[in-house]
Chains A and B, each alone.
Chain A
Amino acid sequence: MRKILNWFRRRDLEAGLDKELHYHFDRRVSDLTASGISEAEAKRQATLELGGLTQVREEVRDVWLNRWLRDLTYDLRFSARSFLRNPSFTATTVLSLALGIGATTAIYSLVDQVMLHALPVREPERLVLVDWKGEQVANGFGSYNLMSYPICGDLQAQTQVFDGVLCRAATTVNLTTGSEPKPAAAEIVSGSYFPMLGVGAAMGRVLGPEDDRTAEASPVVVISYDFWKTHLDGAADVLGRKVLVNQYPMSIVGVATPRFQGIDVGEVPALWIPASMSAQAIPGFKGLQDRRTRWMQVLGRLKTGMTLERARSGLEPWFQAMRLEDMGRPGFPRITAERRKQYLSSWLELTPAPQGHSSLRRRLAQPLWVLLAATGVLLGLACLNVAGLFLARGSARDREISTRLALGASRSRIGRQLLADSILLAVAGGLLGVLIAPSAMRTLIAFLPSQVANNALQSNVDSRLLLFAFLVSLTAGLLSGFAPALQAGRKSLMTSLRERGGSASGGVRMRKAIVTAQIAFSLILVIGAMLFMRTLTGLLEKGPGFDTTSMVSFQLDPRRNGYTPVQASRLIRRLHEEIRTAPGTQASAVARYALLTGGSWNDLMVIQADERISTDRDVNLNAITPGFFSTMGIRLIAGRDFSDRDVRPVEDFGFRTAIVSESFVKRYLGGRNPLGARVCECSGPDAKPDIEVIGVVADFSYRGIRENREQAFFPILEGNGSSGTFYVKVRGTPEQASASLRAIVRNADPALPISSFRTLNEQVSRSLNTERMLATLSGAFGTLALLLSLVGLYGVMSFVVTQRTREIGIRLALGATGGSAIWLVLRDALVMVGAGMAIALPCVAALGRLVESELFGVKATDPWTIAQSALLLAVAALGAAMLPAYRASVVNPVEALRLE
């Protein structure tokens, strides 16, 4: 450490040493002259005794700073000087490394934030996600890993395994802090949530078990620090303030610590609400104490020293008993013997969850790993490119290096000099990469879907990321400097000195190997890009199966604004009528659940046709108004649409009629006439199908465009249609329509928030965010890769041609045609391209499995795509090689021979 400090004060040290040595020298000379020796002789003797001032200085410098450190600083200075002298070379290499490093850093940052970053809570490594896998015999709503609230309490009693257990559910509430309610992301949490995580309050208090003891007895919320700062201006008197959650008054008791953003990186809550208030947080929800309603995620904190395996077996007795006990409880449905067997063979799964729970992670994990792998390949390519450029420069520097070798420099010393070159370049590239990384990250984050809740992803470069970028740069530097350094160490001194400038054979073999590897890498990326682009275009071509032009949609949820179900239903009906008859409307309909959001209402069904059929998987369900299909441009295949006949008065419950989709008929009725069959949203031996099927419609996408699963529809206006998504086909532009639609809603209730107002085209494009991200990025990577390898190929071919000018000249002089000269060069290029492809294809086959699930309508090993990519690469490569080849064919034999 001290030695490194010495480097910074070396000027002082030098001056001191100089003074010290001169003092010695002068004293010695004066002593010697005093003893009668002539001054000249005295000086000579003093110098002799000291052994030369320069050498003493060198030796003392070695004491100050280790030899290798000094060499390194000299090397770096030398490299920097030579780079400044050669700006175009420097710019090319730094830029290609910066692109590689910047892209890798940006993608890694997302991987880190989405998948690797531990929650800012006490000992996150002890957190586990508890998941009940298999048949739970329960209805669920929410995303993944769902369990009921009472189970959370059961698990809390398992103190031999857990130090604490929390459960939570994400939701959106209409929150009124000022005059108007606004949608806000909320987390409904058990009282154990904050104590178990070890998260405290920045102000006031956090929620505790006492808030979660009695249902509806604790109308309190804790708000997030960010929400406090941004929406409440960080007001100091916020504690005790009344807010309205879905129009229900609750009071703020605390602000959570600044860094805590909930346990889901994809959905940052603005507030936390105790589970005891779930009926207010989710209007109409009555399932808090119901063991057959699964809606919360459960996280446990393992006791110290507890392993996953021991925890699992420790929970087994409780789990066994709980399932059996549940079967005897009132409210447990009668189920078939088979379902019962499935229920009893369900199991508990514990997975480490230091990063919390996140559906975003689930959705993005694979695409992000794929992108990280792609950037890795891209970075490898950039390194190869730099290595190739170095080799090219290395052959130009051959004579310099040979001279240095002849003067006594060791080969390892020269090699180190070359490594210093590449490391300096890579670090410069890394710096530039880190500078461009944040904007790349912002672009990436913009690709990610976000609903009401923000995600916690940031485009900041933190110290972790800097370290990562530095390590990547260093590795890149070592990798790209390795080949040239090796080359420098291998050459025979005699031959290279004997060679003339311009005819050095410096590392052509190695350069060809590098270009071959580059071609292999870029073919992999090009094939990947092609696959993802075909996936995206395939999905866009397929489309959602309904009309999206001039269509806008928006959601209303009056229950969140304090409406009773009956009031809400009346409001929706009234608005539907008004919008339908408005002058700007061509057609309009309401569906209870929005399309293309990734979610759906789904359940098992029983069909009574000639025989009784139970569906083997959930059917996607929706409730719609008459005219929904015609508004959406969905074809009615058989039977009739809903009409006013099917609509029941408000407060009259129970569906009478249903419409099913084509694939539903195909899967369960095998082409038999479905009209008149009876169905129900039900299962088990007690199910009584009593809803008549009155129509069949063409298939269209519900959750997302990839999927065309079986669907069934009920009429919405059955008295329970209390919320809904409006689908309006408008005249004129969506912008004009937006204003008049908003005015209609505002007119009916000025306080009612409109959410997710967008055109259907926008909705389609949002639902393809991940696919678009993969296609765009892999396309960019593929293009870049192709470019890099073409530059490499061109470089090495030009070099070969220059090198073989004389040979080609002789051939031409002896009667060879220009065509054969071209072939001579192209053959070389073809061998490299062929070899690169031969390397790439098995890799593509192996990597294919990684991306298979992200693809649509195309297999990872699709021969057509691979052939196209290979052809594209081959044509481009031959194009790049053609220029040098052409130059070879027009070599003037006389000139070529005179060159010698």
Chain B
Amino acid sequence: MPPSRFPIPQGTLDMLILQILSLEPAHGYGIAQRLEQISRSVVQVNQGSLYPALHRLEQKGWLRAEWKQSETGREAKFYALTPAGLAQLAVERDSWAKLSGAVQLIFDEGTAQ
């Protein structure tokens, strides 16, 4: 029985992808593995929803895709962050911090009473 994991909140998948790709370009499977590492411990990511998200981000111009030789020698589609994507990551990170801070504040207030 795997440990019960809670599903990833709506909209955060995009942010996670941007974050992963900000370190280095990767193909879909690579991203999935990184997500797997996170999700094994904390959250549950459906691998199937990864590809629609990648295509959506590419469409928005935050990612750029390129066919390259992968580590196994087969051609794979590598995604990399565009400058616009980098800027978007900063925005999302910022708003995430604000949101979680605000939520924390509300919880703190609740316990203070």
List residues 41-62 of chain A with CB under 8 A from any CB of chain B. 49-52, 55-56, 59-60, 62
Asked if residues A19 and B52 are in contact (CB atoms below 8 Å), the reply is no
Partner of B52, one of A20, A26, A62: A62
Q: Are A24 and B32 in contact (CB under 8 A)?
A: yes
Give chain B residues whose Cβ lies under 8 Å from the Cβ of A59.
48-49, 51-52
B15-58: CB near A (< 8 Å → 1, else 0) gives: 00000000000011100100000000000001111011001100
Contact of B48 among A2, A26, A50 (CB under 8 A): A50
Complex contacts, A3 vs chain B, CB 8 Å = 59
Query: Are A23 and B48 CB-contacts (below 8 A) given A16-B77, A63-B55, A63-B59?
Result: no
- In the assembled complex, the CB of A9 is this many whole angstroms from the nearest CB of chain B, namely 13
Quick check: A23 and B51 within 8 Å, CB to CB? no
Q: Which residue of A lies closest to B77 (CB)?
A: A20
> Cβ of A56 and Cβ of B74 under 8 Å apart?
no
A64 at the interface (CB under 8 A from B): yes
Of the candidates B27, B29, B70, the one having the most CB atoms from chain A within 10 angstroms of its own CB is B29
Q: Are B55 and A19 in contact (CB under 8 A)?
A: no
Chain B's nearest CB lies how many Å from the CB of A149?
Answer: 67
Would you call A17 and B51 a contact (CB within 8 A)?
Answer: yes
CA separation between A52 and B70, bound complex, in Å?
A: 24
User: Are A23 and B28 interface neighbours, CB within 8 A?
Assistant: yes
Contact B27 A23 (CB under 8 A): yes
Contact A27 B47, beta carbon cutoff 8 Å: no
The one of B28, B48, B59, B70 that contacts A51, using a Cβ cutoff of 8 Å: B48
* A60-B52, A60-B55, A63-B55 as given contacts; A23 in contact with B46, CB under 8 Å: no
A25 nearest in chain B by CB position: B29
* Chain A hits for B49, CB < 8 A: 51, 59
Do A19 and B29 have beta carbons less than 8 Å apart?
A: no
How distant is the Cα of A499 from the Cα of B28 in the complex, in angstroms?
Answer: 53
Of the candidates B32, B46, B48, B75, the one whose C-beta lies within 8 Å of that of A19 is: B75
Which chain A residues (1-46) contact chain B, with CB distance < 8 Å? Answer: 2-3, 16-17, 19-21, 23-24, 26-28
Chain B nearest Cβ from A44, distance in angstroms: 14
- Determine the distance from Cα of A56 to Cα of B51 in the docked complex, in whole angstroms: 7
Q: Are B59 and A27 in contact, with the CB atoms below 8 A?
A: no
Name A57's closest neighbour in chain B (CB-CB): B51
B30 closest partner in A (C-beta): A27
- Report how far A314 CA is from B70 CA in the complex, Å: 83
User: Chain B contacts of A24 at CB under 8 A?
Assistant: 28-29, 32, 47
Cα distance A289–B29 in the bound complex, in angstroms: 93
Name which residue of chain B comes closest to A28, CB basis.
B29
Contact mask B75-113 → A, CB, 8 Å, 1/0?
Answer: 111000000000000000000000000000000000000
Interface pair B48/A20, CB less than 8 Å apart: no
Which single member of A16, A21, A52, A63 contacts B56 (CB below 8 Å)?
A63
Bound complex: CA A23 to CA B74 (Å): 8
Contacts of B56 in A (CB 8 A): 63
A60 to B49, CA, bound (A): 9
Task: Point out the residues of chain B lying under 8 angstroms from A28, CB to CB.
Answer: 29
Alpha-carbon distance A28/B50, docked complex (angstroms): 14
Partner of A56, one of B48, B59, B72: B48
Whole-angstrom distance between the Cβ of A413 and the nearest chain B Cβ: 22
Contact B28 A52 (CB under 8 A): no
Contacting residues, chain A, for B77 (C-beta < 8 A)? 16, 19-20, 23
A-side contacts of B55, CB under 8 Å: 17, 60, 63-64
Closest residue of chain A to B46 (Cβ to Cβ) is A51
Shortest C-beta distance, B73 to chain A (Å), equals 12
How far does the Cβ of B99 sit from chain A's closest Cβ, in whole Å? 25
- A20-B28, A60-B55, A63-B59 known; A55-B48 Cβ under 8 A: yes
Point out the residues of chain B lying under 8 angstroms from A63, CB to CB: 52, 55-56, 59
Q: Could you tell me the distance between the alpha carbons of A639 and B93 in the complex, rounded to whole angstroms?
A: 111
| Contacting pair A49 B47 (CB below 8 A) | yes
CA distance A769 to B44 in the complex (A): 82
Contact with B72, one of A19, A27, A49, A60 (Cβ below 8 angstroms): A27
Question: Does the CB pair A56–B52 fall under 8 Å?
Answer: yes
Bound Cα distance from A21 to B77, whole angstroms = 10
Among A374-427, those with CB < 8 Å from B are none
Interfacial chain A residues near B27, Cβ < 8 Å: 20, 23
For A62, the chain B residues whose CB sits under 8 A away are 52
Chain B contacts for A64, CB-based, 8 A: 55, 59
Q: Which of B29, B46, B48, B51 contacts A27 (CB 8 A)?
A: B29
Q: In the bound complex, how far is the Cα of B78 from the Cα of A16, in angstroms?
A: 12
Q: What residues of chain A lie closer than 8 Å to B47, measured between beta carbons?
A: 24, 49-51
In whole angstroms, how far apart are the Cα atoms of A17 and B58 in the complex? 13
A50 CB contacts on chain B under 8 angstroms: 47-48
Q: Which residue of B lies closest to A6 (CB)?
A: B59
Interface string of A482-525 (1 = CB under 8 A from B): 00000000000000000000000000000000000000000000
A60 CA to B77 CA, complexed, in Å? 15
How far in angstroms is the closest Cβ of chain B from A773? 56
Mark out the residues of chain A between 335 and 385 whose CB falls within 8 Å of any chain B CB in the assembled complex. none
**Is A21 in contact with B51, judged by CB distance below 8 angstroms?**
yes
Which chain B residue has the least Cβ–Cβ distance from A52? B48
Q: How far is the CA of A16 from the CA of B76 in the complex (A)?
A: 10
Interface centre among A2, A21, A26, A27 (most CB of B within 10 A): A27
Q: Which residue of B lies closest to A46 (CB)?
A: B47
> What's the minimum C-beta distance from A353 to chain B, rounded to whole angstroms?
51
Contact status of A2 and B59, CB under 8 A, knowing A19-B77, A21-B51, A51-B47: yes
> A3 to B29, alpha carbons, bound, how many Å?
26
Question: Bound state CA distance, A169 and B76, in angstroms?
Answer: 78
Contacts of A60 in B (CB 8 A): 51-52, 55
Chain A residues with CB below 8 A from B51, complex form: 17, 20-21, 56, 59-60
Min C-beta distance of B27 to chain A, whole Å: 7
CB distance from A31 to the nearest CB of B (A): 9
Query: Within the complex, what minimum Cβ distance (angstroms) separates B8 from chain A?
Result: 14
Which residues of chain A have C-beta atoms less than 8 A from B74's C-beta? 23, 26
Q: Which one of A50, A52, A62 has the highest number of Cβ atoms from chain B below 10 Å of its Cβ?
A: A50
In Å, the complex CA distance between A23 and B69 comes to 12
Chain A CB within 10 Å — which of B32, B48, B49, B74 has the most? B48
Q: Is the CB of A23 within 8 A of B52?
A: no
A23 touches B76 (CB 8 A): yes
Bound-state CA distance A23–B52 (Å) is 16
Per-position 1/0 for A281-318, Cβ under 8 A of B: 00000000000000000000000000000000000000
B21 CB, nearest partner CB in chain A, Å: 15
Residues of B within 8 A of A20 (CB): 27-28, 51, 76-77
In the bound complex, residues from chain A placing their C-beta under 8 Å from that of B70 are 23
| Distance A23 CA – B31 CA, assembled complex (angstroms) | 13
- Looking across the interface, which residue of chain A has its beta carbon closest to that of B72? A27
Closest to A49 in B: B47
Do B59 and A23 touch (CB < 8 A)?
A: no
Residue of A nearest to B45 (CB): A49
List 18 other contacts, CB 8 Å, given A27-B29, A56-B48.
Answer: A3-B59, A19-B75, A19-B77, A20-B77, A23-B27, A23-B29, A23-B70, A23-B74, A24-B47, A27-B72, A49-B48, A50-B48, A51-B48, A56-B52, A59-B51, A60-B52, A62-B52, A64-B55
> CB within 8 Å of A: which residues of B?
27-29, 32, 46-49, 51-52, 55-56, 59, 70, 72, 74-77
Please name 24 pairs of A and B residues whose Cβ atoms are closer than 8 Å in the assembled complex, sorted by A.
A17-B51, A20-B28, A20-B76, A20-B77, A21-B51, A23-B29, A23-B74, A23-B75, A24-B32, A27-B29, A28-B29, A50-B47, A50-B48, A51-B46, A51-B47, A51-B49, A55-B48, A56-B51, A59-B48, A60-B55, A62-B52, A63-B52, A63-B55, A63-B59
Would you list the 9 A-B pairs with minimal beta carbon distance, nearest first? Answer: A51-B48, A59-B52, A63-B55, A27-B29, A24-B29, A63-B56, A20-B77, A56-B48, A50-B48
